[in-house]
Chains A and B, each alone.
Chain A
Amino acid sequence: MSTPVITASALTKTYGDFTAVDGIDFEVAPGESFGLLGPNGAGKSTTMRMVGAVSTRTSGSLSILGLDPNNHGPDIRSQLGVVPQQDNLDQELRVRDNLLVYGRYFGLPRAVVAERADALLEFAQLTDRKKAKVDDLSGGMKRRLTIARALINEPRILLLDEPTTGLDPQARHILWDRLFRLKEQGTTLVLTTHYMDEAEQLCDRLVVVDKGRIMAEGSPASLIREYSSREVLEVRFGSDKNAEAAERMAGVGERLEVLPDRILVYSENGEAALEAVTHLGLEPITSLVRRSSLEDVFLRLTGRSLIE
């Protein structure tokens, strides 16, 4: 394996008594698409800010592109593209000017920036909106512009903090398509998300983070293999009857997870599990057999769901 572009070991960040990131270790290889999956408040954004060289670690070590962000913040930042959780586009500038001006912040020559800006507007599907005011763009367009802006300096690592949070499903899919193209081109992507589908679509490898710690690490498929069964049966009996039904269902499938609104049955064969349930004389109001997802991995690891 080639030299990692990011190496973190025992990386810790505390704010007063609160430990936001509690001694995490990870490496990111060049060209890899790496994700931090976890609920809100897990320490993902704090980790991203340390990697982005805009937040100083409390302890541990961190190396970005071979440099320590404590001493080489501007050098590191010049090689990163950052898509923050909340868009911070320049409202006082038009769409294309946002790209031009941002490129100049990196000290790039005008002509270079102009050429890249046009290509990036194409990539972000915003060429026909290049003279628009930022305020007049939709949420999805703003996000795409933010991503285009993050690419203006041809970064070696693109950091995306919750890239599709708050977008409607169609806008999310357009964005995923754009990010997937970057990934195919070999751009190193580091993203945080609390959407399991996003992590499954975009990440080669991910860490599951909760309360500032890494709970598990691996590819989406290997995590599902390791921490969940192949299939999941979801049954609902009505909120007051779920607990009682769950007691009678003990022994069905490999493992049961009782949630307030439904019961999850982990099994290699969901249909067979459903048959076993009906065999017990139980009649669920609704039932659904699906493949295991990272949501199930997270539930298994933490006992909680990702989106609370």
Chain B
Amino acid sequence: MSAASLPAAATTAEVALQPRRSALYAGNTGAVIHRGLLATRSTNYLVVLSGFFEPVFYLLSLGIGFGALVGTVQTSTGQEVPYAAFIAPALLAVSAMNGAVYDSTWNVFFKLNYSKLYQGMLTTSLGPLDVALGEIFLALLRGAMYALGFMVIMQAFGLNLAWTALLALPAVLLIAFGFASLGMAITSYMKTFQQIEWVTFIMLPMFLFSATFYQITVYPEAIQWVIQALPLWHGVELVRGLTTGALSPMMFVHVGYYLVMIAIGVVFTTSRLRALFLK
């Protein structure tokens, strides 16, 4: 073809550019999300699904199997519920966390250090906040998908005890958002795959000890404080209250915790992307 039919690059510079965008944000997060969704076509779905099944297996073995030995347990608001209904909301929070964390650690690390995706994005008119929000949204989406699937399983087993279980849906979105945001922020400071392993190392005890399988009151008070400082406990308590129908004012604290976590994650991710690629 002749070069003439090429979209001609502009050749004149008589008119100076009219500045309009901020240095951080071009209002184009949609393009980052669009890219992420297109890229999922080349994803290995088996790997994605394995992350979803982990909490499901815990529910089946501990909730249904082990639960037959336990009978009922008391929630933090004093309500007697079957053991499966006690741990299911905790596992729901975990599934939201897992999806968000897998995506915001391993995948983000690869895009940051190997595929140079963010570097490429930031040579366009995108700002670091566009990239941060878009990528966090995609991680959140994976968490939300896991959680949604888990909700369906809970419903099928009759583990949603109250109508307020519906509110668990926005709650798990919030939880996934929190973990996606903080996860990406932490990952953006990492330089080696070994450092990502530390995240997995921290997540396992957090999963086991955040009042997931029993009441937090079994611990001495000092340990309780530690657990309550960690994000998963807030997620577990929030979701458990909603699915068992035991609402409490503490829920505002849990929600507030996640809002702060989201904000910290977005701020750190944005400034880190800027420091890495626009320095």
Which residues of A are interface residues toward B (Cβ below 8 A)?
2-5, 30-31, 52, 54-56, 65-67, 71-82, 84, 86, 88-93, 97, 101-102, 104-107, 115-116, 119-120, 122-123, 133, 151, 153-156, 158, 181-182, 184-188
Tell me how far the C-beta of B186 lies from the nearest C-beta in chain A, rounded to whole angstroms: 23
Tell me how far the C-beta of B225 lies from the nearest C-beta in chain A, rounded to whole angstroms: 43
A188: chain B residues within 8 A (beta carbon): 9, 11, 13
Tell yes or no: B219 within 8 A of A by CB: no
Tell me how far the C-beta of B86 lies from the nearest C-beta in chain A, rounded to whole angstroms: 41
Tell me how far the C-beta of A11 lies from the nearest C-beta in chain B, rounded to whole angstroms: 16
Once the chains bind, are B28 and A107 in contact (CB under 8 Å)?
Answer: yes
CA distance A104 to B36 in the complex (A): 12
With contacts A66-B17, A92-B42 known, is A187 near B122, CB below 8 A? no
Residue ID in chain B nearest A65 by CB atoms: B17
Once the chains bind, are B9 and A158 in contact (CB under 8 Å)?
Answer: yes
B123: chain A residues within 8 A (beta carbon): 52, 54, 77, 80, 82, 84
CA distance A242 to B18 in the complex (A): 61
CA distance A114 to B165 in the complex (A): 44
Tell me how far the C-beta of A181 lies from the nearest C-beta in chain B, rounded to whole angstroms: 4
Once the chains bind, are B6 and A67 in contact (CB under 8 Å)?
Answer: no
Which segment, of B67-75, B94-102, B112-120, B226-234, faces chain A? B112-120
Tell me how far the C-beta of A67 lies from the nearest C-beta in chain B, rounded to whole angstroms: 5
Residue ID in chain B nearest A73 by CB atoms: B23
A88: chain B residues within 8 A (beta carbon): 115-117, 119-120
A80: chain B residues within 8 A (beta carbon): 123
Once the chains bind, are B23 and A104 in contact (CB under 8 Å)?
Answer: no
Tell me how far the C-beta of B213 lies from the nearest C-beta in chain A, rounded to whole angstroms: 38
Q: Kindly identify which residue among B14, B122, B124 contacts A153, using a CB–CB cutoff of 8 Å.
A: B124
Residue ID in chain A nearest B34 by CB atoms: A104
CA distance A76 to B278 in the complex (A): 13
Once the chains bind, are B7 and A151 in contact (CB under 8 Å)?
Answer: yes
CA distance A101 to B32 in the complex (A): 8
Interface of B is mostly: loop
Tell me how far the C-beta of A189 lies from the nearest C-beta in chain B, rounded to whole angstroms: 9
Q: Kindly identify which residue among A93, A105, A181 contacts B31, using a CB–CB cutoff of 8 Å.
A: A105
B10: chain A residues within 8 A (beta carbon): 79, 154-156
B156: chain A residues within 8 A (beta carbon): none
Once the chains bind, are B35 and A120 in contact (CB under 8 Å)?
Answer: no
Once the chains bind, are B9 and A3 in contact (CB under 8 Å)?
Answer: no
Tell me how far the C-beta of A69 lies from the nearest C-beta in chain B, rounded to whole angstroms: 10
Taking CB atoms and an 8 Å cut-off, the chain B residues in 16-71 that contact chain A are: 16-23, 26-28, 30-32, 34-35, 38-39, 42
Known: A30-B11, A107-B27. 17 other contacts (CB 8 A): A54-B123, A73-B127, A74-B127, A78-B124, A79-B10, A80-B123, A86-B116, A92-B39, A92-B115, A105-B32, A106-B124, A120-B6, A123-B1, A123-B6, A133-B42, A187-B9, A188-B9
Q: Kindly identify which residue among A56, A75, A101 contacts B34, using a CB–CB cutoff of 8 Å.
A: A101
Tell yes or no: B77 within 8 A of A by CB: no
CA distance A84 to B124 in the complex (A): 12
Tell me how far the C-beta of B3 lies from the nearest C-beta in chain A, rounded to whole angstroms: 4
A106: chain B residues within 8 A (beta carbon): 124-125
Give per-residue flags for B215-255: 1 if the beta carbon is below 8 A from chain A beta carbons, else 0: 00000000000000000000000000000000000000000
Once the chains bind, are A101 and B9 in contact (CB under 8 Å)?
Answer: no
Total interface residues in chain B, CB < 8 Å: 47
Once the chains bind, are B124 and A105 in contact (CB under 8 Å)?
Answer: yes
Residue ID in chain A nearest B7 by CB atoms: A116
CA distance A4 to B42 in the complex (A): 44
B6: chain A residues within 8 A (beta carbon): 119-120, 122-123, 151, 181, 185
Once the chains bind, are B31 and A73 in contact (CB under 8 Å)?
Answer: no
B125: chain A residues within 8 A (beta carbon): 74-75, 77-78, 105-107, 153
Tell me how far the C-beta of A77 lies from the nearest C-beta in chain B, rounded to whole angstroms: 5
Q: Kindly identify which residue among A56, A84, A155 contacts B9, using a CB–CB cutoff of 8 Å.
A: A155
Q: Kindly identify which residue among B19, B31, B115, B122 contacts A54, using a CB–CB cutoff of 8 Å.
A: B122
CA distance A188 to B13 in the complex (A): 10
Tell me how far the C-beta of B160 lies from the nearest C-beta in chain A, rounded to whole angstroms: 37
A116: chain B residues within 8 A (beta carbon): 7
B122: chain A residues within 8 A (beta carbon): 54
Tell yes or no: B192 within 8 A of A by CB: no
A89: chain B residues within 8 A (beta carbon): 120
B193: chain A residues within 8 A (beta carbon): none
With contacts A93-B39, A104-B31 known, is A72 near B17, CB below 8 A? yes
Once the chains bind, are A156 and B9 in contact (CB under 8 Å)?
Answer: yes
CA distance A4 to B14 in the complex (A): 9
Once the chains bind, are A154 and B7 in contact (CB under 8 Å)?
Answer: yes
Residue ID in chain A nearest B125 by CB atoms: A78
Q: Most chain-B Cβ atoms within 10 A of its Cβ — which of A90, A153, A187? A: A90
Tell yes or no: B126 within 8 A of A by CB: yes
Residue ID in chain B nearest A182 by CB atoms: B9
B19: chain A residues within 8 A (beta carbon): 67, 71-72, 75
Residue ID in chain B nearest A186 by CB atoms: B11
Once the chains bind, are B13 and A30 in contact (CB under 8 Å)?
Answer: yes
A4: chain B residues within 8 A (beta carbon): 13
Tell yes or no: B194 within 8 A of A by CB: no
Once the chains bind, are A30 and B124 in contact (CB under 8 Å)?
Answer: no
Residue ID in chain B nearest A70 by CB atoms: B23
